[in-house]
């Protein structure tokens, strides 16, 4: 039985990861220019953490759990099924969001004036609102992933929460820039961005309510395998391409390697 203290800690980590979209929103308002190198390194670092911990730690924990229940061969098949099931789930969610509204389209602070030149305010308003909705949809499974990891291993949950928080910062920029120039209100743009991140703790609550009463080695193994798949897809489809599009491809790879090194060392020293 999971203790109340661990559940609260897991929820707070998920809340922190989700609401970091507000950091991106604040950066869009108070920075005069996008620090592309910093963003590239940060996003690459986040991808490195998520890929390494998914393939080395989370996947292996799922495998151990399922093999323990179903034996070597069938347990491995179930692990693979869960892993690619997670990938297909997040890929379908991503596919259902039209490219124009996709929050992972690149937005820079200095691009705002260009957007205002050719876009009417109602178009910018629509873009910002739809971006907020799209981010909320994306954040739902991410919240479940963070929460599940934190319940199973609080230290692992912290690493994942930090990685997802970094990944959410550009999403905050994607929401707040068009909304601010459509409404003229920094406050309104910030709150839309901030609230879109609430989908992560909401995902955690719903996942906990549905799955926790039935949690056993099979459910845990399939869920953890799916979480690994979701995070690998996010890293390869969103984080690394976004980091490279910010114009610093080498910085993104350096960040990726640094994230893997930090995660590898922390797994040995602290877990």
Reduced 3-state DSSP string for the chain: CCCHHHHHHHHHHHHHHHHCHHHHHHHHHHCCCCCHHHHHHHHHHHHHHHHHHHHHHHHHHHHHHHHHHHCHHHHHHHHHHHHHHHHHHHHHHHHHCCHHHCCCCCCCHHHHHHHHHHCCHHHHHHHHHHHHHHHHHHHHHHHHHHHHHHHHCHHHHHHHHHHHHHHHHHHHHHHHHHHHHHHCCHHHHHHHHHHHCCHHHHHHHHHHHHHHHHCCHHHHHHHHHHHHHHHHHHHHHHHHHHHHHCCCHHHHHHHHHHHHHHHHHHHHHHC
| pLDDT of amino acid 76 | 96
Residue 205 has pLDDT above 80, yes or no: yes
Greatest distance between any 2 Cα atoms in the chain: 62
Contact 186/25 with Cβ under 8 angstroms? no
More confident: 247 or 117: 247
Task: Give the count of beta carbons closer than 10 Å to the beta carbon of residue 8.
Answer: 10
Backbone angles phi, psi at 34, to 5 degrees: -70, 125
pLDDT band at residue 64 using 50, 70 and 90 as cut-offs: very high
Nearest to 53 by CA among 197, 152, 200, 136: 152
| Interval 99-115: pLDDT, tens | 544 444 545 444 544 44
Residue 21 has pLDDT above 50, yes or no: yes
Residue 116 has pLDDT above 60, yes or no: no
**Residue at token pair 């670092």:** 45
| pLDDT of amino acid 264 | 85
| pLDDT of amino acid 199 | 80
| pLDDT of amino acid 115 | 46
CA-CA-CA-CA torsion for 133, 22, 94, 251, nearest 10 degrees? 160
Q: What are the tokens at 259?
A: 């994230």
In the chain, pLDDT over 90 holds for what percent of residues?
12
Tally of residues, the chain: 271
Total domain count for the chain? 1
Residue 201 has pLDDT above 50, yes or no: yes
| Interval 123-163: pLDDT, tens | 556 656 666 666 666 677 778 778 877 887 787 788 888 88
| pLDDT of amino acid 78 | 97
Task: Give the count of beta carbons closer than 10 Å to the beta carbon of residue 58.
Answer: 29
179 burial level (CB within 10 Å; 0-12, 13-18, 19+): buried
Residue 190 has pLDDT above 90, yes or no: no
Highest mean pLDDT, choosing among 32-36, 100-104, 178-182: 178-182
| pLDDT of amino acid 167 | 72
In the chain, pLDDT over 70 holds for what percent of residues?
75
* Domain span holding position 263: 4-270
| Interval 81-103: pLDDT, tens | 999 999 998 888 777 765 544 44
Question: Which of 30-44, 188-202, 220-234 shows the lowest mean pLDDT across its residues?
Answer: 30-44
| pLDDT of amino acid 77 | 97
| Interval 206-259: pLDDT, tens | 877 877 777 788 988 898 898 889 889 888 887 788 777 766 668 888 889 998
Nearest to 27 by CA among 161, 168, 130, 136: 168
pLDDT band at residue 36 using 50, 70 and 90 as cut-offs: low
């Amino acid at each position: 039985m999971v203790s109340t203290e661990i559940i609260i800690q897991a929820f707070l980590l998920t809340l922190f990861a989700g609401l970091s979209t507000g950091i991106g929103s604040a950066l869009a308002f108070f920075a005069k220019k996008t620090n592309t190198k910093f963003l590239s390194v940060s996003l690459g670092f986040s991808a490195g953490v998520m890929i390494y911990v998914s393939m080395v730690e989370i996947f292996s924990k799922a495998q151990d759990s399922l093999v323990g229940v179903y034996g070597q061969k069938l347990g491995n098949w179930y692990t693979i099924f869960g892993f690619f099931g997670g990938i297909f789930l997040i890929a379908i969610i991503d596919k259902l969001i039209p490219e124009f509204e996709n929050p992972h389209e690149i937005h820079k602070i200095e691009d705002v004036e260009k957007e205002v030149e050719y876009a009417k305010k109602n178009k910018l308003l629509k873009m910002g609102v739809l971006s907020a909705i799209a981010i909320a949809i994306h954040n739902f499974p991410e919240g479940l992933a963070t929460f599940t990891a934190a319940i199973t291993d609080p230290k692992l949950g912290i690493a994942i929460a930090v990685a997802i928080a970094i990944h959410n910062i550009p999403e905050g920029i994607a929401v707040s820039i068009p909304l601010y120039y459509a409404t003229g209100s920094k406050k309104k743009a910030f709150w839309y961005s901030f609230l879109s991140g609430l989908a992560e703790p909401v995902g955690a609550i719903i996942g906990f309510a549905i799955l926790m009463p039935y949690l056993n080695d099979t459910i845990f193994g399939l869920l953890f395998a799916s979480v690994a798949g979701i995070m690998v897809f996010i890293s390869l489809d969103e984080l690394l391409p976004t980091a490279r599009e910010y114009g610093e491809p080498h910085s993104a790879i350096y960040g990726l390697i640094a994230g893997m090194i930090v995660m590898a060392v922390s797994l040995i020293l602290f877990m």
